[in-house]
């Protein structure tokens, strides 16, 4: 697998990241272990988790696999904090106290002495950004964290945070981005490009819809049929989405590949994108994502997909034209 520089930082990561959200629901420990081995064997390095996944159990599981199953040094370990984990005063949010408490908890559960990429899971309106960023600065100076990023920020939030960092830099932003969700192209991606921040798309397959599995119904073993994820998937089951999915399927048939590979290759090679984060239920599902590594979309197909999935830009993003 090829690697890419994360923004303008010196950190290099595989151009596909392994997500672990499903490890807390539909993926058991054996399947998780098989996924991690297959990912690393394919040349993957970026593994992404969060302290909130499975109430911390996903970090514990991942930590048990590092060193025992794959070398710790072969993985760029990324996790997130901010989401509320309990009712205590330091059990969530982006205050200095809450973040540093969360960091210590992640280090303990993962069983490591440092995290390669520590990310703020969300913006916190209740906390001054200077206080939040002071926790990031401390974590970096202490050596507990090597690089820092953010997730789900708007354009102005990203630009504010990037400009307010003192001695260090924000190197990444995780945002939902796919052929079905291109909203970050309006302001987030321009802000990221201006500040040298790499984009790590989550849900690059449109929450599974771009694989084509929902074209004729809802498979019983799919997330769309799950009480946990049904609403999450339903947001992308629209008439517009159907048109885009059909275009992806047509492109895949013409290229002799899968809709999954087409959708993933499209987002992977968008300007500013470093590594889409893919989640899989098991090793065989992950293999479908890994297969996209060999696919580069022809210019004509990329242009057609750009067109069918285009979003509207208005004032001031496209002013003057």
Which residues carry out catalysis?
A: 53
Q: Which of 106, 35, 56 is CA-nearest to residue 77?
A: 106
Nearest to 289 by CA among 258, 262, 261: 261
115 - beta bridge partners?
145
Please answer whether residues 39 and 282 qualify as being in contact, where contact means their C-beta atoms are separated by less than 8 angstroms: no
Q: Give residue for tokens 């201006």.
A: 194
Token pair in block for residue 289: 């994502």
Q: Which two tokens stand for residue 306?
A: 């750009």
Quick one: three-class SS letters along the chain?
Answer: CCEEECCCCCCEEECCEEECHHHHCCCCHHHHHHHHHHHHHCCCCEEECCCCHHHHHHHHHHHHHECCCECHHHCEEEEEECCCCCCCCCCCCCCHHHHHHHHHHHHHHHCCCCEEEEEECCCCCCCCHHHHHHHHHHHHHHCCEEEEEEECCCHHHHHHHHHHCCCCCEEEEEEECECCECHHHCCHHHHHHHCCCEEEEECCCHHHHHHCCCCCCCCCCCHHHCCCCHHHHHCCCCHHHHHHHHHHHHHHHHHCCCHHHHHHHHHHCCCCECCCEECCCCHHHHHHHHHHHHCCCCHHHHHHHHHHCCCCCCCCCCCCC
């Amino acid at each position: 697998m090829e690697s890419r520089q994360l923004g303008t930082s010196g950190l290099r990561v595989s151009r596909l990241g392994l997500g672990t959200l499903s490890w807390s629901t539909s993926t058991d420990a054996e399947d998780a272990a098989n996924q991690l081995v297959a990912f690393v064997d394919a040349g993957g390095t970026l593994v992404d988790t969060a302290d909130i996944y499975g109430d911390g159990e996903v970090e514990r599981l991942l930590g048990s696999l590092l060193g025992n199953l794959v070398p710790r040094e072969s993985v760029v370990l990324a996790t997130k904090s901010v989401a509320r984990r309990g009712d205590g005063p330091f059990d969530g949010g982006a205050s200095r106290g809450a973040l540093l408490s969360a960091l210590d908890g992640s280090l303990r559960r993962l069983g490591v002495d440092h995290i390669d990429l520590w990310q703020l899971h969300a913006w916190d309106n209740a906390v001054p950004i200077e206080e939040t960023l002071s926790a990031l600065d401390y974590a970096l100076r202490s050596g507990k964290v090597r690089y820092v990023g953010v997730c789900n920020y708007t354009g102005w939030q990203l630009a504010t945070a990037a400009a307010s960092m003192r001695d260090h830099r924000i190197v990444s932003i995780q945002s939902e981005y796919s052929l079905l969700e291109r909203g970050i192209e309006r302001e987030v991606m321009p802000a990221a490009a201006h500040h040298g921040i790499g984009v790590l798309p989550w849900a690059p397959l449109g929450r599974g819809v771009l694989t084509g599995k929902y074209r004729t119904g809802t498979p019983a073993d799919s997330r769309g049929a799950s009480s946990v994820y049904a609403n999450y998937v339903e947001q992308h089951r629209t008439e517009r989405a159907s048109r885009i999915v059909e275009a992806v399927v047509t492109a895949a048939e013409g290229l002799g590949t899968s809709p999954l590979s087409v959708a993933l290759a499209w987002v992977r090679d968008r300007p500013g994108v470093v590594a889409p984060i893919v989640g899989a239920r098991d090793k065989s599902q992950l293999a479908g994502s890994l297969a996209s590594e060999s696919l580069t979309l022809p210019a004509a197909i990329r242009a057609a997909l750009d067109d069918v999935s285009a979003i509207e830009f208005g004032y001031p993003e496209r002013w003057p034209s």
